[in-house]
């Protein structure tokens, strides 16, 4: 069967229905991609938070070590 004009079934334009369904499919794909990207972003944020916490702990330990060294130098008369 070949349709060369508008195909209307029970008052509904079939071409418009097909276009709408195709667009809805694209929106669904975009929603899935967005969800995957959000998941990746959450993972990266967690990794960044872990790195910041590790660096903060290292800085604190370094500050304590410097304070201890200052105290030793002072105790030695420096």
- Residue 21: inside a domain, yes or no? yes
- Residue 45: inside a domain, yes or no? yes
Q: 38-77 pLDDT, tens per residue?
A: 999 999 999 999 999 999 999 999 999 999 999 999 999 9
Question: In 3-state terms, what secondary structure has residue 37?
Answer: helix
The angle formed by the CA atoms of residues 7, 13 and 16, to the nearest 5 degrees, is 115
Structural domain containing residue 45: 13-75
- Residue 42: inside a domain, yes or no? yes
User: Is the model's pLDDT at 1 over the cut of 80?
Assistant: no
Listed in sequence order, the residues at least 6 apart from 15 whose beta carbon sits closer than 8 Å to its beta carbon are: 6, 7
- Residue 6: inside a domain, yes or no? no
Structurally, the chain folds into a number of domains equal to 1
Q: Is the pTM of this model over 0.75?
A: no
Average pLDDT over residues 3-16: 85
User: Is the model's pLDDT at 19 over the cut of 90?
Assistant: no
Q: How many Cβ atoms sit within 10 Å of the Cβ of residue 14?
A: 13
- Residue 2: inside a domain, yes or no? no
- Residue 61: inside a domain, yes or no? yes
- Residue 4: inside a domain, yes or no? no
CB distance 41 to 35 below 8 Å: no
pLDDT of residue 40: 97
């Amino acid at each position: 069967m070949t349709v060369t004009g508008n195909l209307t079934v029970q008052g509904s334009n079939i071409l418009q229905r097909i276009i709408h369904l195709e667009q809805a499919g694209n929106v669904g794909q975009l929603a899935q991609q967005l969800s995957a990207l959000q998941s990746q972003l959450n993972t990266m944020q967690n990794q960044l938070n872990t790195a910041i916490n590790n660096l903060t702990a290292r800085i604190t330990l370094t500050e304590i070590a410097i304070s201890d060294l200052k105290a030793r130098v002072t105790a030695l008369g420096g």
